[in-house]
């Protein structure tokens, strides 16, 4: 069974956290490069 991991589109780090929601939609913040945005990459990772 594969798990899904979200990664930053700029640096490829998986160290993201969900920042806001509500009217603006989903936004994520990367702790590694300070990217803030709705676009993230989801990768399948096997156990």
3-45 per-position pLDDT tens digit: 899 999 999 999 999 887 667 678 999 999 999 998 999 999 8
Note the pTM of the prediction, 2 decimals.
Answer: 0.74
Strand arrangement of the beta sheet that strand 16-20 belongs to: 16-20, 27-30, 36-37
């Amino acid at each position: 069974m594969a798990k899904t991991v979200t990664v930053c589109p700029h640096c490829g780090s998986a160290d993201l956290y969900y920042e806001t929601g509500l009217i603006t939609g989903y936004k994520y913040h990367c702790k590694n490069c300070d990217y803030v945005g709705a676009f993230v990459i989801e990768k399948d990772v096997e156990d």
